[in-house]
């Protein structure tokens, strides 16, 4: 058995992990392309990850708020007419298709509205399947989410996305 995970999505720090039998992990260290030019996670990132796990073990309140926020934002975006794909996580893909349009939407949101929502294009996703990745958090207020969705809608209409 092998377990692979990320610390950036769940714990808000950089890095990831591979857990399994020593033989498999050693093989991956030697042969897996991502390991060729990478280094170990830094001690501050490890400390931040441990602190995040400690917080999550004490209470499920933040996880519950994260899921509530994600559902709220997704409903708002769908009401505006956006295609959100089939994500079953709080990471919300806003399906755009055209790479230039996705890049322009991301740029407009950042420059005009101070919203950081990264465009994702080929080769990360197939050609013609560009999207904007929205990272909802438990730290967002309903006002933040309303602001984000409304500005997405304004820019999306201007670019012919919705």
Q: What are the sequence ranges of the domains in the chain?
A: 2-58, 61-158
pLDDT for residue 113: 93
Greatest distance between any 2 Cα atoms in the chain:
54
Average pLDDT, the chain: 91
Neighbours of 132 (CB within 10 A): 25
| Reported pTM | 0.79
The phi and psi torsions of 121 (rounded to 5 degrees) equal -135, 180
Mean pLDDT of 60-65: 92
**How would you list the strands of the sheet with 130-135, edge to edge?**
91-97, 130-135, 118-120
pLDDT for residue 36: 65
Architecture of domain 61-158: Alpha-Beta Complex (3.90)
Is the predicted pLDDT of residue 21 greater than 80, yes or no? yes
Can you tell me which residue has the tokens 């392309």?
A: 33
3-class state of residue 11 by DSSP = coil
Mean pLDDT of 52-74: 93
């Amino acid at each position: 058995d092998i377990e692979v995970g990320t610390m950036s999505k769940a714990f808000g720090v950089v890095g990831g992990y591979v857990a399994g039998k020593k033989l498999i992990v050693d093989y991956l260290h030697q042969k897996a392309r991502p390991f060729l030019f990478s280094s170990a996670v830094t001690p501050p990132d490890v400390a931040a990850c441990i602190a995040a796990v400690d917080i999550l073990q004490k209470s499920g309140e933040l996880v519950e708020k994260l899921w509530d926020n994600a559902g709220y934002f997704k409903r708002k975006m769908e009401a505006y007419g956006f295609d959100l794909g089939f994500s079953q996580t709080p990471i919300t893909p806003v399906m755009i298709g055209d790479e230039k349009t996705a890049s322009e939407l991301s740029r407009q949101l950042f420059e005009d509205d101070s919203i950081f929502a990264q465009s994702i294009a080929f080769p990360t996703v197939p050609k013609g399947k560009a999207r904007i990745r929205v990272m909802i958090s438990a730290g967002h207020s309903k006002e933040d989410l309303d602001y984000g969705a409304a500005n997405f809608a304004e820019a999306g209409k201007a670019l012919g996305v919705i």
